[in-house]
Structure 1
Amino acid sequence: MSVKDNKKLVKKFVLSHGKGEDTPYPHGTKVQFHVKSEALFSDTLPEWSSTSVQEDGLQLDGQLIDDSHDWKQPVELLLGKKFKLEVWEECISTMKKGEIAVFIIDKTLVSPYPVVSQTLRKAFSKKPADAKSLQKEKSHHCCGMGLKEGLGHKDLDELVTNPRHMKFTIELLLAELPGSYEKQYWEMSEEERLGSIPQLQEKGNALYRKGNYQQASDNYKEAIGRLENLMLKEKPNDTDWLVLNMQKLPLLLNYSQCQLLQGEYYSAVEHCSTVLEHQPGNVKALFRRGKAHVELCEGQLARRDLQECSSLDPDTAPACSKLLARLAYMEKQQNKKDKKLYASLFDKPLAKDTIISDRNSGSKENDQLIPKDSNINDGKNSIEQNDYPPKKDGDINDGKNSIEQNDDPPKKDGDINDG
């Protein structure tokens, strides 16, 4: 369908001319635009052959359906990707950057608009949908049965029931030709998606070296998500699936390292465990999971991982020993806190004339009064006065370089901890 070839069904009125050459946009052009949508009150369109066609068209009144100026952002569209409302693509293809134009379109060409509008509102509207609308949206599907159940918006449901001619006022803000912008994942071909993963990994590595761990995490996470999407199309444990999974494991290790540095210890445990499911002897995964267990004060799990790590790679033994010493110190401190807490429960004097009953006899005669100043536990020597271990050179509690900043295993495979 071409706007120029369908003057009876589509009529264009230019309100403000844009800039640039009058050439069609190739497929893959990304456009950004504002649109104001109105459902015309009149069911009869003017005779466009009239000499007053511009005036007749602009004077057509309608019910306001949508206005993207009130949304979070303008609408974005990738031309040539089989958009549901094909007529929009055709209209925009006739416009120049900066141009504002009105399009009057016959109702036979805009039947998909209610579904398109619902999608755009859900993505960009500033107003949260009410509970009733959300319930309707959950129950409907984009098919004939779904439309019968309703779209969750009264004005859109009316358009489905009673189709009307539409008036669209479009302002073309941006038109980026293919190759001039970074594609989003959904815009990429299969080959482009696979090729984007090493780029994200390298970008994450560069951010990590700069100490920007949050953005590095975001890049690793995006790369992991893209790989997992590609893996869904393969049969688990087939050759292609295994190749993709092997590409995923280093990303999981890098992500877990960033999570450790940000204090997200449970996340680090989870992602290292995923690596160890496929590579049980992975030293980096064992070390990082062990380190996370130390920070979570999970002694048994931490010792298991760190001892296995040092036995598999003796070069990691010094780093593992320091973490185990830190764990022992943390456990000792926690034990002393617990002792102090339990001691305080018994040290606290009871109120004067508090009655302690002999529950075995059940007799009031056996009840006795406890003097106010009497104490069940005198508290002497219940807690050591010096709760720190003896200080030795290089010990973790001597206040000097107590914990190494980089206590990862020796750098071997070009992982992100090699600086």
Structure 2
Amino acid sequence: EVEQLRADGVDKEVLREGTGPLPDFRDGTKVTFHYRTLRCEDEERPLDDSRARGKPMELIAGKKFKLPVWEAALRTMRPGERARFRCDTKHVLLYPLVSKSLRNIAAGKDPLEGQRHCCSMAQLHDHCSLGFPDLDELQKNPQPLTFDMEVLKVEAPGSYEQDPWAMTDEEKLQAVPQIHKQGNELYREGRVQEAASKYYDAIACLKNLQMK
């Protein structure tokens, strides 16, 4: 798969070898990883850094993540491996939108905030600001990007609880009552902060469905 990536404009540089065999990345496999996003012309100042935010990224294979090159890159990595992927511009055109959503999630906001009245294509054509000057500049002037990625954990389908953002529409509909029930139970136990987090997840699911 590394050869396929290279042929498609993605160069991989292994910074630290991983351990064990290459995981079987079936659809539904969950990968937890850290990442840094770098401009190829300026690799000292990252656009985004999950370590700096204190929380790694999670990606579920086969869920049609908006940045397919991330899933393609992760499929070539073993647990514990760290590598850099230098990607041609065609692979990262949607990165400004993805980054905005991830920044909103890290700040405890709705990941779709600001996209209700402005479609993705309109944003890409500079009709809407993303609310971050560096991302606005990147969408005005698309360029190759480098992703410095470190795989922390790989979990097989069915061995973990899905986060709401990773669910299909049908899964969200089924999950909302259960998430709300979990929130009520936590509230009755006096675990208010945890209950609030569950209520937020339920509301986020409903908002996402309403925007379809």
Asked whether the two chains share a fold, i.e. TM above 0.5, the reply is yes
Distance, in Å, in 2 between the alignment partners of 1:188 and 1:152 is: 26
2:100 maps to 118
User: What are the residue-to-residue correspondences of 1:329-344 with 2, within 5 Å?
Assistant: none
| Cα distance, 1:140–1:185 mapped onto 2, change above 3 Å | closer
Change (3 A) 1:196 1:32: same
For residues 203-352 of structure 1, the aligned pairs below 5 Å read 213-215=189-191, 218=195, 225=202
Deviation of 1:30 (Å): 1.4
- The 1:145–1:22 alpha-carbon spacing in structure 2 relative to 1, beyond 3 Å, is closer
Aligned length: 196
How many angstroms apart in 1 are the aligned matches of 2:100 and 2:175?
Answer: 34
Identity of aligned residues (%): 36
Corresponding residue of 1:176: 155
CA distance in 2, matches of 1:71, 1:103: 21
How far the C-alpha of 1:213 sits from its partner, in A, is 2.7
Give matches, 1:26-65, under 5 Å.
26-41=26-41, 61=43, 64-65=46-47
Q: Which amino acid aligns with 2:5?
A: N
Q: Which residue matches 1:20?
A: 20
Q: Which has the larger radius of gyration?
A: 1
Residue number in structure 2 paired with 1:153: 132
1:141 aligned onto 2:122:
no
Bigger drift between 179-188 and 5-14 goes to 179-188
Question: What is the letter of the counterpart of residue 121 of structure 1?
Answer: R
CA distance in 2, matches of 1:118, 1:142: 14
SS at match of 2:105: helix
In structure 2, relative to structure 1, the CA distance for the partners of 1:140 and 1:153 (3 Å cut) is farther
CA RMSD across the alignment: 3.8
The 1:193–1:104 alpha-carbon spacing in structure 2 relative to 1, beyond 3 Å, is same
- Give the aligned partner of residue 5 of structure 1: 4
Task: Tell me the amino acid that sits aligned with residue 37 of structure 1.
Answer: T
CA positional deviation for 1:215: 4.8
Q: Does the CA-based 8 Å contact 2:30-2:60 persist in structure 1?
A: yes
**Cα distance between partner residues in 2 of 1:61 and 1:199:** 41
CA deviations on 1:12-37 (whole Å, 9 max, x unpaired) are: 11111112212431111111111111
Change beyond 3 A, Cα 1:194–1:117? closer
Relative to 1, partners in 2 of residues 1:6 and 1:188: Cα closer, same or farther, differing over 3 Å? closer
Q: How far did residue 117 of structure 1 move? A: 1.0
Q: TM-score, length-normalised on structure 1?
A: 0.40
Aligned partner of 2:67 in structure 1 is 85
Matched, 1:167 2:146: yes
Q: Is the 8 A contact 1:71 1:125 kept in 2?
A: no
1:185 offset after TM fit, Å?
3.9
Q: Gaps spanning 5+ residues in structure 2: where?
A: none
What do the CA deviations read for 1:133-174 (whole angstroms, capped 9, x no partner)? Answer: xxx947962423334122122221221121111111101111
Secondary structure of 1:26's aligned partner:
coil
Distance 2:183 2:102 in 1: 32
Q: Paired residue for 2:80?
A: 98
More helix as a share of residues: 1
| Structure 1 segments unaligned to the other structure (5+ residues) | 42-59, 129-135, 234-419
Distance 1:139 1:90, change over 3 A: closer
Counterparts in 2 of 1:214 and 1:117: CA distance versus 1, 3 Å:
same
Give a deviation string over 1:37-92, Cα, whole Å, max 9, x none.
11112xxxxxxxxxxxxxxxxxx846521111111411111121010000001001
Distance in 2, matches of 1:191 and 1:159, equals: 34
Write the distance in 2 (CA, Å) between the matches of 1:156 and 1:191.
Answer: 31
C-alpha separation between the residues in 1 aligned to 2:43 and 2:178? 54
Report which of the two has the higher share of strand.
2
**1:74 counterpart (52, 56, 59):** 56
Greater CA drift, 31-40 or 85-94: 31-40
